[in-house]
Amino acid sequence: MNAPLPGPLEANPDLDRWVDFPAPGKVIVLTGRVELGQGVLTAMAQIAADELDVGMERITIRSGDTEKAPNEGYTAGSQSIQFGGVAMRQACADVRALFLEQAAKVLRCPTSELSIADGKFLRNGCSTGQDYWTLAGAVDLRVKATGAGVRKRATDLRIVGSNSARLDLPAKIFGDAVFIHDMRINGMMHARVVRQPNRGATIGSIDEKAIRRAARGPIEFVCNGNFLAIIGSNETSVEAAGAAAVNHVAWENVETPTPAQQEASWLLQRPVVERVFGAPEAANPQGRQRYEATFTRGYLAHASISPSCGLALYRDGKLTVWTHCQGVYPLRAALAKELKLEPDSIFVHHVQGSGCYGHNGADDAAADAAIIAMQQPGKPIRVRWRREEEFIYEPKTPAMVVKVRALLDEAGKPVDWTQEIWSPTHNLRPGAGGNLLGALALPDPPPEPPPNDVAESNGGGATRNGEPLYDIPAKRILHHLVTEAPVRTSALRGLGAMPNIFAMETCIDELAARAGQDPVRYRLSITADARARAVIENAAAMAKWQAGATAGTGTGRGIAFARYKNRAAYCAVVVELSVEEEIRLHHVWCATDGGLIINPDGVINQLEGGIIQSASWVLKEQVRFDNGVASFDWETYPVLKFSEVPEIDIELLNTRDDVPLGIGEVTAGPTAAAIGNAVSHALGVRIRDLPLTRERIMATLLKE
């Protein structure tokens, strides 16, 4: 009896969906995961090369393609390696086992005498003249995975665990045509969409003349219901017309978010769906000390460096779409449903875009191209959003209010913990919980999706990391899923984890202070989990943490810890900073236990990126509303600059464990909380609302 197959392999059991030996010396490996700039495809190639015993250079990786690659849903949630990578390992182990059996048959020997070196089959270490490619004709990979192939032990892996150079990076450094934005198809038309401001808004009037004047070249209008686009062969003209159209198309039934809606506190009085998880709420026993605090975080933008782009061609009843979205199969399903096509007539191919960090405009840009292409059969259509369009119309990560209530024992340790969360959904991905933006403007728009959030079995949305990992006898989450939001909200790196961990780890620091204990020692006193303790101890050691450092000097240090989703990687972060009018980050130390590491340098790159992105969220970022989304470019939505990033040191623990744990999003929460704790240490006062802007710091200091 074999162990159950890893989830993605169970869902895509045909082995020819994973591995192919197309020509002598060549291996094609297919994965449903896509390259979003994280080095996932390099890691997948390492996994396959190791498990198949072939050199990395033999491997060509294909990904995100509804015609061939496995359907692995989304590349999201730090799950690519933890789940997709394990599926790849098992698929390759099964393929290897089938070939070993065939080789044993040909060579008339037991498989125990056989080994494989760079694709060549050896018998008792000697050449046999057989390799994957001589045997390929006799091994049919159009069979189901069984899990019969024995995966190598972690300690036997050689390519896994090494710093293989990223496969995708050279093309980006030499300026090759590697991004979807660089794709050119013969006869291609450029397009810009004149965005419907909101669901239900209708076109009042169009000043075609003014738009054509701005174009300075030939353009055409394409209209379907309230979906209006401008197309032409010259991108410069189409871009100019698209920009001008913002001022020359009048809309009716427009709703715009207001400044009051910008703050998380606005969510407190909205309609909600109530959800409760964990231990029943206890009455406060007499004498128990009680702690309570409220935290907020505003709306954030993904703010991808490039606006979204999509290409589509509709010909002979078939729709082909090129996209940089996170899930080609879910996009295909959403396109089929919302454009009323058969899924079998849609082909979706992933092409790299800029980093997305979650659900940005990528799916919508692809749908825009598809909608226009269906009106212009035979013409390849390329839609590229304008910068302002991306900022205004990309789904935002929701504002959140998090209230923590804790009851303490005599020693000041928490015995009962309630994390109460107000948040709109983190899941309006097309097909999962939401719609494609362009489809809302079509004559028969899809209905409003019912209230939903990411399932707790999948890590949760607003509830993600809402439960402390610490040893607390009774813990619960009260989730008020706010069903009314001023803007479309969806998944951004870590979803609710950052605000939840910021709140919880701030509380832990405050509880430590109350108990008169050092924050590191206090954390260790409430967790028995050896891996949690190890990252906390290591981060503290890396930073040469000293208990009892004086507070209120203007320079401060803070620590925070989390295990992402309470089931992926463990991470502790120490931050050192100074505060004058603004916060200046000096140094960040991070210890992470992500279990089996495929590519250590790739992992460190991801952890560094997560630390810097989280620092940017915490210090600078909030989407402003003022008669609409008022954060529409890099001046109105500033992010951390080169001169503002801290030094970062990272250590990886336990890297030869058998099981990999997702690391892509783990640093966001601990970094945010460690910054907050360090600011409090530097100032001697707490700021519980994010971002920690200069205005907020000044206001807090004046109040004290």
Residues that bind another protein (CB under 8 A): 36-39, 163, 165-166, 168-179, 181-182, 216-217, 234-237, 239, 303-307, 352-355, 357, 384, 386-387, 601-602, 605-606, 608-613, 616, 633-635, 639-643, 645, 647-648
β pairing state of 381-384 and 189-194: parallel
CA 7 to chain centre: 19
Q: What one-letter code names the amino acid at 235? A: E
Q: Are 545 and 559 in contact (CB under 8 A)?
A: yes
Phi and psi angles of residue 434, each rounded to the nearest 5 degrees, phi first = -130, -170
Q: Are 650 and 608 in contact (CB under 8 A)?
A: yes
Least distance in angstroms from the C-beta of 174 to another protein: 6
Q: Which is nearer to another protein, 94 or 621 (CB)?
A: 621
Least distance in angstroms from the C-beta of 655 to another protein: 18
| Helix boundaries (H) for 526-626 | 530-542, 600-620
Least distance in angstroms from the C-beta of 254 to another protein: 24
Least distance in angstroms from the C-beta of 356 to another protein: 8
Q: What's the full length of the chain, in residues?
A: 704
Q: Which is nearer to another protein, 578 or 700 (CB)?
A: 578
Least distance in angstroms from the C-beta of 412 to another protein: 37
Least distance in angstroms from the C-beta of 621 to another protein: 11
CA atoms of 485 and 426, how far apart (whole Å): 11
Q: What share of the chain is helix, strand, coil (3-state, %, to 5)?
A: 35, 25, 40
Q: Which is nearer to another protein, 188 or 534 (CB)?
A: 188
Least distance in angstroms from the C-beta of 150 to another protein: 32
| Helix boundaries (H) for 453-568 | 497-514, 519-525, 530-542
Q: How far is CA 193 from CA 104, 242, 289, 315, 479, in A?
A: 60, 7, 58, 21, 37
Question: For residue 86, which of 1, 169, 3 has the smallest C-alpha distance?
Answer: 3
**Beta pairing partners, 383:** 191, 310
Would you state the structure tokens that stand for residue 46, as one six-digit string?
Answer: 């390492």
Q: Which is nearer to another protein, 38 or 90 (CB)?
A: 38
Q: Are 459 and 427 in contact (CB under 8 A)?
A: no
Q: Which is nearer to another protein, 244 or 472 (CB)?
A: 244
Q: Which is nearer to another protein, 230 or 335 (CB)?
A: 230
CA atoms of 453 and 463, how far apart (whole Å): 9
Residue 143 DSSP symbol? S
Q: Which is nearer to another protein, 213 or 318 (CB)?
A: 213
Cα dihedral 424, 430, 436, 439 sign: negative
Q: Which is nearer to another protein, 163 or 546 (CB)?
A: 163
Least distance in angstroms from the C-beta of 532 to another protein: 25
Q: Which is nearer to another protein, 301 or 407 (CB)?
A: 301
Q: What one-letter code names the amino acid at 442? A: L
Least distance in angstroms from the C-beta of 634 to another protein: 4
Would you state the structure tokens that stand for residue 329, as one six-digit string?
Answer: 């199969």
Q: Please, is 34 exposed, middle or buried when counting C-beta atoms within 10 Å of its C-beta (0-12, 13-18, 19+)?
A: buried
Least distance in angstroms from the C-beta of 603 to another protein: 11
Q: Which is nearer to another protein, 184 or 544 (CB)?
A: 184
**Beta pairing partners, 469:** none
Least distance in angstroms from the C-beta of 671 to another protein: 11
Q: CB-hemisphere CA count at 13 Å for 271?
A: 5
Would you state the structure tokens that stand for residue 410, as one six-digit string?
Answer: 């005599």
∠ CA 470-472-473 to the nearest 5 degrees? 150
**Beta pairing partners, 482:** 272
Least distance in angstroms from the C-beta of 648 to another protein: 6
β pairing state of 189-194 and 318-323: unpaired
**Beta pairing partners, 320:** 313, 347
CA 80 to chain centre: 10
Least distance in angstroms from the C-beta of 667 to another protein: 10
Question: For residue 402, which of 472, 491, 488, 506 has the smallest C-alpha distance?
Answer: 506
CA 256 to chain centre: 28
Q: Which is nearer to another protein, 1 or 173 (CB)?
A: 173
Q: Are 571 and 562 in contact (CB under 8 A)?
A: yes
Q: Which is nearer to another protein, 74 or 295 (CB)?
A: 74
The C-alpha torsion from 60 through 65 and 66 to 72, rounded to 10°, is 80
Would you state the structure tokens that stand for residue 285, as one six-digit string?
Answer: 């026993």
Phi and psi angles of residue 544, each rounded to the nearest 5 degrees, phi first = 50, 50
Q: Which is nearer to another protein, 217 or 628 (CB)?
A: 217
Least distance in angstroms from the C-beta of 397 to another protein: 14
List, in order, residues 6 or more apart from 479 with CB less than 8 Å away: 274, 275, 276, 277, 421, 423, 453, 462, 463, 466
Least distance in angstroms from the C-beta of 175 to another protein: 2
Least distance in angstroms from the C-beta of 237 to another protein: 8
Q: Which is nearer to another protein, 167 or 404 (CB)?
A: 167
Provide the 3-class DSSP secondary structure of residue 352: coil
Q: Are 558 and 510 in contact (CB under 8 A)?
A: no
Q: Which is nearer to another protein, 17 or 166 (CB)?
A: 166
Least distance in angstroms from the C-beta of 373 to another protein: 20
R_g of the chain, CA atoms, integer Å:
27
Q: Which is nearer to another protein, 15 or 238 (CB)?
A: 238
Q: Which is nearer to another protein, 257 or 353 (CB)?
A: 353
Would you state the structure tokens that stand for residue 504, as one six-digit string?
Answer: 């919880």
